[in-house]
Amino acid sequence: MTPEQATPTLTTHDRCDACGAQAYVRVELASGGELHFCAHHARKHNAAIEPLASHIHDETDRLHADASSTAAR
């Protein structure tokens, strides 16, 4: 496991640029800068974003982990 996988880099303070929900995807643009997306908007805009991105950091798997830990309570 890489350090990036062991410690999520997106926090509750990172918000989706499209709607303001918690961001689970960070897109680093090849032209510079970055965009943050919730899981919904990351899926919705994926085809348009991929050609522009130099790196996509996707933490949407945390949604399933968060839901599992909540259900276990």
DSSP secondary structure code for residue 23 in this structure = P
Which residues are CB-contacts of 42 (< 8 A; sequence separation ≥ 6)? 24, 25, 27, 49, 58, 60
Over range 27-39, report the average pLDDT: 96
Asked whether residue 66 carries a pLDDT value surpassing 70, the answer given is no
For position 3, what pLDDT does the model report? 47
Residue, of 20 and 65, whose pLDDT is higher: 20
What are the pLDDT digits (tens) for 2-22?
A: 544 445 689 999 999 999 999
Start-to-end C-alpha separation, the chain: 27
Look over the chain and give the mean of its residue pLDDT values, rounded to a whole number. 87
